[in-house]
């Protein structure tokens, strides 16, 4: 009673509740950020990922997405500062190494950043690592095909260009 009422020291239950609320807030911000990220809205996603990382700095996935959006939002305007984002992704991977569940998405984010930076050999190595963790990861496959120069979006456009008569008469595809 004295500690709580006079000295203002929080009880274990109060501390646990604050920790839980911080984690719930971080999860909510991350979920919102991931939705924005998937829509291609990187700047607002970056802001949500920052909230998530500030609330739960030891969450590897939060830090990885924050790192990637840091890189992506700065790479054209401040390329020297964009590398900080790559370092954050690497920190997230380091955190994840000590965890039971390995996150292939972190490796995909790092590979994507390297690809966008023009470092194709590093991107290939990193994306192969993602596929070793999860061979079914569609993002890793897509990014790897982009690095190898076989962008699936370009192939779909080329396939659509061949019309009825070219198929009928064996025209070029």
Q: pTM of the prediction?
A: 0.76
**pLDDT, mean of residues 49-68:** 94
Instruction: Tell me the CB-side half-sphere exposure of residue 26, using CA atoms within 13 A.
Output: 21
Q: Which residues contact 131 (CB under 8 A, 6 or more apart)?
A: 104, 137, 140, 141, 144
Q: In the prediction, which pLDDT does 170 show? A: 53
Q: How confident is the model at residue 156 (pLDDT cuts 50, 70, 90)?
A: very low
Q: How confident is the model at residue 3 (pLDDT cuts 50, 70, 90)?
A: low
Q: Dump pLDDT digits (tens) for 75-125.
A: 999 988 999 999 999 999 999 998 999 999 999 999 999 999 999 999 999
d(CA 173, CA 161): 8
């Amino acid at each position: 009673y004295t500690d709580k009422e006079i000295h203002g020291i929080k009880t274990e239950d109060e501390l646990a509740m604050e920790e839980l609320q911080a984690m719930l807030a971080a999860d909510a911000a991350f979920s919102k950020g991931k939705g924005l990220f998937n829509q291609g809205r990187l700047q607002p996603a970056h802001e949500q990922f920052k909230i998530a990382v500030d609330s739960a700095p030891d969450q590897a996935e939060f830090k990885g997405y924050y790192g990637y959006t840091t890189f992506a939002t700065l790479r054209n305007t401040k390329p020297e500062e964009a590398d900080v984002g790559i370092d954050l992704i690497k920190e997230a991977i380091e955190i994840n190494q000590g965890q039971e569940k390995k996150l292939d998405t972190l490796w995909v984010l790092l590979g994507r950043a390297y690809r966008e930076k023009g470092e194709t050999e590093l991107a290939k190595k990193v994306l192969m690592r993602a596929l070793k963790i999860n061979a079914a990861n569609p993002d890793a496959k897509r990014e790897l095909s982009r690095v190898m120069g076989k962008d699936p979006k370009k192939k779909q456009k080329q396939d659509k260009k061949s019309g009825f008569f070219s198929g009928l008469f064996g025209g070029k595809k």
